[in-house]
């Protein structure tokens, strides 16, 4: 145990055969070995590629999730006139979206690999490869956080919310991502994270609803740092928002 705690659990690709990769790719062995004279060079490049998080599952937005956000706002436009119910509307968006996001992470082999690399890359030998993987992960995270921050900024702006003084959307996205990933990592050993529901009204909605743990966690983090903007909402502003949401270019 002392040796494991000192060295850490390791990341490895020993279960993947270089010869099987060549065969399945359908390319000439001579061409492969010209590019990677040693299989360790290939696996080093593979680790760096995995660290980019460039899989479509990781690197692109979820159009279904955006449609769900739009519909949730349209269903609760009457909440916008009350500043506190605007926060409740943000909570409702997160209540419905968080479980979908959690399941996307939890059920995706690509996401599992990407998250595993975050937690184990320090087990790589100290040197250029570990530094490159670390830097690539950092760059990937900046890109992912930027996309989440932009989504939060767009949606909160639509419903009249803003970050509290000193808080940026990038900070909000980083904390939200960390919360969701923590739940994803814990869920295999604690399945209740995925299945438990709590019938409650923790964020001031007119009626209680069924909340998942991912929904509660994400909404608690995000709403801590959001406040209503002072601009009032009237029927004309709500009608303008409805028209925007029903257009093709709302996001």
The class of domain 61-245 in CATH terms is mainly alpha
SS3 226: strand
Q: Give residue-wise pLDDT tens across range 103-157.
A: 988 998 898 889 989 988 888 888 999 999 999 999 999 999 999 999 999 999 9
Handedness of CA 52, 95, 93, 166 (dihedral sign): negative
- Does residue 191 register a pLDDT over 70? yes
Among candidate residues 65, 77, 138, the one with its CA nearest the CA of residue 103: 65
Using a cut of 0.75, tell me whether the model's pTM lies above it.
Answer: yes
Cβ(228)–Cβ(235) below 8 Å: no
pLDDT tens-digit readout, 51-66: 998 876 676 667 778 8
CA–CA gap between residue 94 and residue 223 (Å, rounded): 10
Count of positions (residues) in the chain: 251
Domain range annotation of the chain: 11-51, 61-245
Find the range with the poorest average confidence among 9-23, 81-95, 183-197, 233-247.
Answer: 9-23
Give the Cα separation of 31 and 37 in Å (integer): 10
């Amino acid at each position: 145990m002392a040796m494991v705690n000192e060295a850490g659990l390791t990341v490895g690709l020993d279960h993947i055969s270089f010869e099987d990769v060549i065969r399945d790719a359908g390319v000439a062995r001579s061409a492969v070995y010209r590019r990677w004279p040693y299989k360790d060079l290939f696996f080093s490049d593979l680790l760096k590629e995995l660290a980019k998080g460039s899989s479509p599952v990781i690197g692109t937005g979820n159009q279904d999730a955006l449609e769900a956000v739009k519909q949730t706002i349209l269903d609760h436009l009457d909440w916008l006139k009350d500043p506190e119910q605007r926060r409740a509307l943000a909570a409702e968006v997160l209540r419905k979206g968080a479980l979908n996001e959690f399941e996307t992470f939890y059920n995706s082999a690509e996401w599992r690999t990407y998250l595993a690399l975050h937690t184990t890359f320090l087990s790589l030998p100290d040197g250029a490869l570990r530094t490159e993987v670390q830097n690539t992960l950092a760059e990937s995270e900046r890109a992912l956080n930027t996309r989440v921050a932009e989504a939060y900024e767009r949606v909160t702006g639509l419903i009249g919310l803003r970050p509290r003084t000193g808080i940026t959307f990038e900070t909000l996205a980083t904390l939200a991502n960390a919360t969701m990933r923590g739940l994803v990592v814990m869920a295999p050993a604690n399945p209740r994270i995925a299945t438990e529901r709590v019938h409650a009204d923790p964020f001031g909605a007119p009626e209680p609803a069924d909340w998942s743990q991912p929904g509660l966690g994400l909404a608690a983090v995000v709403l801590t740092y959001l406040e209503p903007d002072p601009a009032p909402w009237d029927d004309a502003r709500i009608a303008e928002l409805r028209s925007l949401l029903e257009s093709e270019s709302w996001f």
